[in-house]
């Protein structure tokens, strides 16, 4: 690829580097050699200041309102807030290409953030030794002329996608919470209300547009020259390239049955049975989905039982939710109604408050009644050990990974996840803690790691433990790619080295799960 030497000239000017005439470089490596030769040795603070002078509508320094917005407001949780040396907010994919070349020239660390919902410090933000690349302004949202494919930029969240698609009577295989970002969810797989019909969110991607470590902007599809990269991006995370646009299949779904039911704690036994039976048999009706969540407020001694129920048809199945409805399990309240999905997402976004401290951990097991009860009982009992921590709350959600979901993924070309449909169905459990003060981070972490190990051992002894750890729900020390299966891991590693031999997205962009480290 012939690189645009205007970029070099602009950077050289910004950094006050004397290099005339502008040399001809055919590779970024040649340019890096030149940068080293003429001695680009600015420290990061200086570099940010000079880049700001050159790219004043894209580069924001500490103290500016945009900097504050991009380093706090755009994040879900306070654990992600940080103080990067500066924030770059491009509007065009070509500017990401320029950015990659700049950070490589300067040898500066960076992070990329989409919807900002991954609750792990520095997995989606940079510290003062790095630059934050915010995709907030990559806001493409357009539908193909046949109305079957949506092009969406990485600055979008699923609620915006649902709002846009509502006018076409279409739906995407995206987040069950509206404020979650498009890019992170897809790059980790993506569990959707529509997953039993269409697989992981990433299984509906038909094209990734992204910037490689070379700075080259490419498009990866299942059949073009980048088909290996296309496969890797369907749950391989951020080790490969910076995605600038997702083209995803969308499906007819003008309105759906969806709402949240709450149950009295005295119905614990019936509730757990309903969760279990849905996990075991729910996959038989792929139009259905549930999100069963048990919410704990230990200081108040409260345990709440809730379940989102979803059905993608104008006619609600009379049987699929029978164990979640009267007379088997009578809800205290139930908001299920036939409505456009974006209305439901608008109502429920406020249930996930911003700016708290948050942690996820995840476990997977083969659907089994005794294991559901065991996890429930252990977690709801032991959570009381955290009752003294200010503002502490917790939840556990049993996410069904149905055979239909895994089969749908395989049918659309497969992905790196490697969960065997034949051994399913599974529950991918997400455990969540939220609290108020950074001073309590260590106590919550210690507790969370300890109880996860205990639950894993309990699943092992019941013979239902599964290695899979869902990337989007995992905590920093949990093993993600190691559990995709040896062949998938080896393939991910070889694709990674093929497209980023210089380890730009591994070493210069250290945040996130790294294929090279697995
Ligand atoms: C309230 C809530 C609800 C959730 N609901 C669901 C759900 O229904 N289904 C589900 O599957 N998951 C769900 N999740 C998990 C969610 O999928 C992950 O948190 C996901 O990482 C969020 O994506 P994001 O774009 O908001 O994240 P970010 O934190 O912005 O990014 C996550 C990771 O992706 C990388 N990344 C971001 N953009 C790019 C890009 N353009 N190119 C390359 N790498 C990039 C980042 O560096 C980071 O490591 C939920 C999470 C929360 C907090
Ligand atoms: C970077 O350079 C500036 C200006 O010379 C200096 O004030 C600052 O301390 C330097 N920062 C670091 C981290 O070296
Ligand atoms: C993002 O785009 C909007 C709309 O064009 C613009 O008003 C805003 O200034 C941009 N933000 C940044 C940080 O560039
Ligand atoms: C295909 O991609 C490889 C790099 O992955 C590159 O070396 C090769 O030139 C490309 N071929 C075409 C036809 O684009
Ligand atoms: C409801 O639960 C019973 C056992 O308690 C089970 O036989 C039945 O299959 C369940 N129904 C559904 C739709 O899951």
User: How far apart are the CA of 382 and the centre of ligand 1, in A?
Assistant: 29
Terminal CA-CA length for the chain:
31
Rounded Cα–Cα distance for residues 210 and 219 (Å): 6
Rounded Cα–Cα distance for residues 316 and 259 (Å): 12
Taking only the tens of pLDDT, the chain with its 518 residues reads 345 565 666 666 666 655 555 566 666 667 667 776 766 666 788 889 888 887 889 999 999 999 999 999 999 999 999 999 999 999 999 999 989 988 888 888 999 999 999 999 999 999 999 999 999 999 999 999 999 999 999 999 999 999 999 999 999 999 999 999 999 999 999 999 999 999 999 999 999 999 999 999 999 999 999 999 999 999 999 999 999 999 999 999 999 999 999 999 999 999 999 999 999 998 789 999 999 999 999 999 999 999 999 999 999 999 999 999 999 999 999 999 999 999 999 999 999 999 999 999 999 999 999 999 999 999 999 999 999 999 999 999 999 999 999 999 999 999 999 999 999 999 999 999 999 999 999 999 999 999 999 999 999 999 999 999 999 999 999 999 999 999 999 999 999 999 999 999 999 999 999 999 99
Q: Looking at the CA of 369, which ligand is closest?
A: 5
Nearest to 187 by CA among 297, 78, 113: 113
CATH top-level class for 256-479? alpha beta
The 10 Å Cβ neighbour count of residue 49 is: 15
User: How far apart are the CA of 4 and the centre of ligand 4, in A?
Assistant: 19
Question: Candidates 118, 159, 194, 202: which one to mutate for ligand 1, based on the most atoms within 8 Å of Cβ?
Answer: 118
CA dihedral of residues 155, 159, 161, 163 (deg, nearest 10): -130
Atom index in ligand 5 nearest the CA of residue 282 equals 14
- Start and end residues for every CATH 3.30.43.10 domain found in the chain: 5-134
Q: Tell me if 258 sits within 8 A of 308, measured CB to CB.
A: yes
Rounded Cα–Cα distance for residues 214 and 252 (Å): 39
Question: What's the pTM?
Answer: 0.95
Question: Candidates 132, 176, 185, 213: which one to mutate for ligand 1, based on the most atoms within 8 Å of Cβ?
Answer: 185
User: How far apart are the CA of 154 and the centre of ligand 3, in A?
Assistant: 15
Atom index in ligand 3 nearest the CA of residue 66 equals 13
Q: Looking at the CA of 67, which ligand is closest?
A: 3
Nearest to 376 by CA among 353, 394, 400: 394
Which residues have CB under 6 Å of ligand 5?
Answer: 273, 277-278, 281, 319-320, 322-323
Does any ligand 3 atom lie closer than 6 A to the CB of residue 299? no
Please name the residue whose Cα sits nearest to atom 11 of ligand 3: 137
Rounded Cα–Cα distance for residues 514 and 518 (Å): 7
Name 130's bridge partners.
109
Nearest to 340 by CA among 255, 253, 250: 255
Does any ligand 1 atom lie closer than 6 A to the CB of residue 515? no
Rounded Cα–Cα distance for residues 411 and 57 (Å): 45
Structurally, at CATH architecture level, domain 5-134 sits in 2-Layer Sandwich (3.30)
Rounded Cα–Cα distance for residues 497 and 514 (Å): 12
Nearest to 111 by CA among 9, 184, 191: 184
- Start and end residues for every CATH 3.40.462.20 domain found in the chain: 256-479
């Amino acid at each position: 690829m012939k690189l645009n030497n205007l970029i070099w000239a602009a950077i050289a000017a910004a950094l006050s580097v004397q290099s005339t005439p502008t040399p001809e470089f055919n590779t970024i490596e040649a340019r890096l050699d030149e940068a080293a030769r003429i001695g680009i040795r600015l420290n990061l603070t200086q570099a940010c200041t000079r880049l700001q002078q050159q790219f004043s509508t894209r580069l924001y320094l500490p103290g500016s309102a945009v900097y504050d917005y991009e380093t706090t407001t755009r994040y879900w949780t306070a654990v992600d807030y940080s103080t990067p040396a500066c924030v770059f907010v491009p509007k065009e994919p070509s500017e990401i290409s320029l950015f990659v070349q700049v950070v490589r020239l300067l040898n500066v660390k960076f992070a990329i953030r989409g919807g900002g919902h991954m609750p792990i410090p520095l997995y989606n933000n940079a510290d003062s030794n790095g630059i934050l690349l915010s995709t907030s302004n990559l806001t493409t949202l357009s539908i193909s002329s046949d109305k079957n494919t949506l092009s969406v930029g990485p600055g979008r969240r699923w609620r915006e996608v649902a709002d846009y698609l509502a006018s076409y009577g279409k739906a995407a295989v995206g987040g069950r919470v509206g404020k979650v970002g498009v890019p992170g969810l897809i790059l980790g797989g993506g569990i959707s209300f529509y997953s039993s019909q269409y697989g992981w969110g990433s299984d509906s991607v038909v094209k990734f547009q992204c910037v490689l470590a070379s700075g080259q902007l490419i498009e990866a599809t299942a059949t073009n020259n980048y088909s290996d990269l296309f496969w890797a991006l369907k749950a391989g995370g951020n080790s490969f390239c910076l995605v600038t646009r997702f083209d995803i299949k969308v499906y007819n779904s003008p309105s759906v049955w969806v709402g949240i039911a709450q149950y009295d704690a005295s119905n614990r036994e019936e509730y757990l049975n309903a969760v279990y039976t849905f996990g075991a048999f729910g996959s038989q009706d792929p139009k259905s989905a549930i999100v069963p969540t048990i919410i704990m407020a230990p200081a108040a001694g409260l345990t709440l039982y809730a379940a989102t129920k979803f059905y993608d048809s104008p006619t609600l199945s009379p049987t699929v939710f029978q164990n979640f409805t009267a007379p088997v399990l009578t809800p205290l309240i139930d908001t299920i109604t036939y409505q456009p999905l974006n209305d439901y997402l608008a109502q429920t976004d406020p249930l996930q408050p911003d700016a708290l401290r948050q942690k996820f951990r995840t476990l997977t097991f083969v659907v089994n009644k005794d294991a559901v009860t065991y996890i429930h009982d252990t977690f709801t009992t032991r959570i009381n050990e955290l009752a003294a921590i200010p503002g502490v709350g917790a939840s556990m959600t049993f996410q069904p990974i149905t055979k239909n979901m895994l089969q749908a993924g395989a049918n659309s070309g497969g992905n790196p996840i490697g969960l065997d449909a034949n051994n399913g169905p599974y529950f991918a459990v997400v455990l969540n803690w939220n609290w108020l003060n950074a001073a309590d981070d260590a106590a919550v972490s210690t507790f969370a790691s300890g109880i996860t190990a205990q639950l894993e051992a309990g699943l092992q002894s019941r013979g239902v433990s599964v290695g899979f750890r869902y990337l989007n729900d995992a905590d920093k020390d949990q093993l993600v790619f190691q559990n995709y299966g040896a062949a998938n891991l080896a393939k991910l590693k070889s694709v990674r080295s093929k497209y980023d031999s210089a380890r730009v997205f591994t070493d210069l962009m250290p945040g996130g799960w790294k294929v090279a480290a697995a």
